[in-house]
Structure 1
Amino acid sequence: MDNFLHHQKTFTEYLQIEKNASSYTVTYYNQDLNEFLFFLQQEGVNSFTEVNQDIIRLYLTTLYNKNLSRRSVSRKISSLRTFFNFLEREEVIVTNVLNQITLPKAQKSIPEFLYVEEIEKLFESNDTSHPIGQRDQALLEVLYGTGIRVSECQSLTIKDIDFSIGTILVKGKGRKERYVPFGSFAEKALRVYIHDGRKQLLDKSGENTEHLFLNARGKPITTRGIRVILKKMVENTALTVNVHPHKLRHTFATHLLNEGADMRTVQELLGHESLSSTQIYTHVTKDHLRNVYLKSHPRAKGKE
C-alpha cells in the first residue's frame, strides 16, 4: 500500500507542476485513482506491475455493475490511462496495459440552451435600483455575454475588466489565460454595479477584496452562490426551465453560431483546447439552417 501511495503522490506532483493542472482536475484524478487502488487491494494486487488486461476488465465489470454511465466509466479509464502513462515514463512498469483497452464511445449529449425570448425574461427579472439587482444583472450579462465558465466568473477581479478595450482577462482550465470581449450591455451593467452596488455590498463586510462579484454580506461569491442567484432569477419570472451557468455558456455558443460566427472563433472564446469540444453545438446550427431553408427557399417544400 505504501508503494501505491508513493506513486500516487509523485503523480499528483506531476499533474500540479509539469501539467499545470487545476485543483479540480487533480481532485478528480485522485478520486478515480483512490477508487482503483481500493479495488486492487480487494483483489490482492500488491504492485502495479501485476496489473494486466484481465485485472482491468474485472475492474470495468465492477464499474458497470454500479450502473455508471459510459461517460463516467470512460472518464475513470482515461484517468487511469494517464496515470499508467506516467508510471511507464518513470519506468515503474514496462508497458501501459490501459492503452490496449478500448471502450465504446460515449454518446455526446445535446447541449441545452435558452431561446432569446427566455434570456430577455431573465434580464427583466432584476431590480437594478438595488445593489443585489445590479450585481445579478452584471453577473447575467457577463455569463451570457462572454460564455465563460462559472469557476472563471467566480474568480474574476476588478483588475480583470478592461473597459478601454472592452475585454475581460479570464483564467481558464490549467491556469491558461485568454481575453474575452464583452459588449455594450455588459459594459453598462458592470459600470453600474462596480460604481454603485458593489461599493454598497463591500461596505457591509468592511473587507478590501479585489473579487468582482460579491455576496449579500460583501464577501467573494462562490460558484454555488452563482447557481443560487440564477435559480432565484428564474423564480422571479414565468419561466419553467432550469437555468444553470453552463446552460448560459451553451446559449452563448449557440446564439453566436446561429448568427454566423465561425467555429474557430467560438472555440477560442470558449477556451476549448480542441475544435471537437466546440463541435457539439453543430446540431443546433444545422437545425437552425434547416428551418431557415424551409422557410425561405422557394423550392424547399411544395405548395399547399
Structure 2
Amino acid sequence: MPVSSTHAEALAAYLRHLSAERGLSPRTHEAYDFHVRVFLDFLEREGIADLAGVDRAVIRKYIASLAERQLDKAGVALRLSSIRSFFRYLAQQETVPRRGLWSKRSKEAKSLSPKLDVRLPSFLTTQEISTMLAAPDVTDLYGARDKALLELIYAAGLRVSEVVGLEVRHLDMGNKEVRVWGKGSKERIVLMGRPAQEALHRYLQDFRPQLLLDRPKTDALFLNRYGRRLTQRSVQHIVKEYALKAGLDAERVHTHTLRHSFATHLLDGGADLRVVQELLGHSSPSTTQIYTHITLSRAKTVYTAAHPMARKRALEAEDHASAMTMPVRQEE
C-alpha cells in the first residue's frame, strides 16, 4: 500500500533500525512493517501529513476503524504495539514529541489497549509427556533423532525456532548445558537432564553420521533425510506424529505445548518464577506469570478435593443447589 514519501522515509529508517538493533526474525519484521504501513495509510486518508500531530484522539479513531473491520482484541493490541514501537523510535530521533502514549507501560497507553482475555497455555501431564517421549523407536535412524529432539525440547523448554537453529557446537554434553539464541537474538544457557543427554549422545554417535554420508558437512544439530537442517514445519510434524502415537489429541499438541509443559511442571515442582523466566528466555516476569494461573487453578482443584473443610463446603453447596432445583409439589 502506497504511503507519502515523507512517511515512507520514516518507515524505511525505522525498519533499518529494527534490522540493525533488534535482531528480529523475518516474520516479526514483516509484521511490524505491515502494521505501521496500514496505520500510515490511515493517516493519509485522514489527511494527517505531520507525524508529530498523531495524538490520543487520532489513535482512538484508528482503533474505532479497526473495530469496524471486526478485528479481534489480540489483533488490535498487536497493531498498537507496532505503532508505539514506531513512534518511540521517532521520538528518540526527535522527529515527533515524546508522549506517554508511546510508552509500553504508561497509564495512557494501557487505557487505549484492549483488555485481552487470559488464555491459559495448554500443557501435557507428566504421564502424557512420559508416554510421548517413549513413543519413538530408538533403534531406528529417524526414531533416534526424534527421541533426541523431543527430549531436548521438553528438557530445555525450547521454542521451535530455537531448536532448529541449534548446532552441535552449542551443546556442552559434560555439563548438560545448551547455548541457544531466542527472540531478538538474545543468547541464554539452558539445561537438560540425563534422559535428553543420553538421547542426544546416542543420536550424535550412532545415527547423525549416517545422515551425512556422501553429503556436505554441516554443524546443524538436527538433520533431515537429505542431511540438511530440519525446518520448523518438519519439527511441528514430528511432534504431532508422536502425540498421535502416544494416543493424545494431536490437534492440541504443538512444539509450544512441550515448552508450556516444561514451565508448568517446573512451577509445580516448586521452582522459583524468576528461574523459570530465565530458562524460558522471557524478558518480563509478567509473561512467565501466565503459568502461575495454571498451577493455581490446579492447586484449587486439589485443595477442594483434599481439604476436609473445603470438601464439606463443596458438598453443602451441591446439596443447596440440588434443593433449589427440586420440583415443588403443588398442594391438592
Same fold per superposition (TM over 0.5): yes
Cα deviations by residue, 1:129-162 (Å, 9 ceiling, x for unpaired): 1111111111100111110111111100000111
Q: Which amino acid aligns with 2:254?
A: H
Partner of 2:253: 243
Partners of 1:261 and 1:95 lie apart in 2 by: 40
State the shift of 1:120 in Å.
2.1
Q: Which moved more, 1:57-66 or 1:217-226?
A: 57-66
Q: Which amino acid aligns with 1:223?
A: Q
Partners of 1:62 and 1:207 lie apart in 2 by: 53
State the shift of 1:67 in Å.
2.1
Cα deviations by residue, 1:11-60 (Å, 9 ceiling, x for unpaired): 12222333444444323211211221222333343332343444322221
Give the SS at the match of 1:203. coil
Q: Is the aligned partner of 1:230 residue 2:218?
A: no
Q: Which moved more, 1:21-30 or 1:135-144?
A: 21-30
2:269 to 253, 259, 269: 259
Q: Which amino acid aligns with 1:261?
A: A
Unaligned runs of 5+ in 1: none
Provide the TM-score with structure 2 as the length reference.
Answer: 0.84
1:90 to 89, 93, 107: 93
Partners of 1:97 and 1:116 lie apart in 2 by: 45
Partner of 1:73: 76
Conserved? CA contact 2:76–2:114, under 8 Å: no
Partners of 1:97 and 1:255 lie apart in 2 by: 39
Q: Is the aligned partner of 1:110 residue 2:113?
A: no
Superposition pairs of residues 199-214 of structure 1, within 5 angstroms: 199-203=209-213, 206-214=215-223
Partners of 2:190 and 2:282 lie apart in 1 by: 13
Provide the TM-score with structure 1 as the length reference.
Answer: 0.91
Unaligned runs of 5+ in 2: 103-107, 316-332
Which one has a bigger Cα radius of gyration? 2
State the shift of 1:290 in Å.
3.0
Cα deviations by residue, 1:60-101 (Å, 9 ceiling, x for unpaired): 122122222212211211110121122122222234484455
Partners of 1:267 and 1:77 lie apart in 2 by: 25
2:196 to 186, 193, 211: 186
Q: Which amino acid aligns with 1:184?
A: R
CA gap 1:48/1:172 in 2 versus in 1, 3 angstroms: same
Q: Which amino acid aligns with 1:35?
A: V
Q: Which amino acid aligns with 2:256?
A: H
Q: Which moved more, 1:80-89 or 1:146-155?
A: 80-89
Q: Is the aligned partner of 1:176 residue 2:186?
A: yes
1:51 to 49, 54, 59: 54
Partners of 1:124 and 1:164 lie apart in 2 by: 24
2:35 to 4, 13, 32: 32
State the shift of 1:262 in Å.
1.3
Conserved? CA contact 1:134–1:193, under 8 Å: yes
Conserved? CA contact 1:53–1:97, under 8 Å: no
Aligned length in residues:
303
Give the SS at the match of 2:289. helix
Q: Which moved more, 1:135-144 or 1:99-108?
A: 99-108
Partners of 1:283 and 1:251 lie apart in 2 by: 13
Q: Which amino acid aligns with 1:126?
A: P
Partners of 1:207 and 1:121 lie apart in 2 by: 36
Cα deviations by residue, 1:223-254 (Å, 9 ceiling, x for unpaired): 11111111222232322242111111100000
Q: Which amino acid aligns with 1:147?
A: G
Partners of 1:77 and 1:287 lie apart in 2 by: 31
Partners of 1:244 and 1:105 lie apart in 2 by: 26
Q: Which amino acid aligns with 2:157?
A: G
Partners of 1:282 and 1:169 lie apart in 2 by: 26
Q: Is the aligned partner of 1:148 residue 2:151?
A: no
Q: Which moved more, 1:27-36 or 1:131-140?
A: 27-36
Partner of 1:136: 146
Q: Is the aligned partner of 1:217 residue 2:226?
A: yes
State the shift of 1:279 in Å.
0.5
What is the aligned-residue RMSD (CA, Å)? 2.2
Partner of 1:14: 17
Partners of 1:124 and 1:54 lie apart in 2 by: 57
Q: Which moved more, 1:67-76 or 1:251-260?
A: 67-76
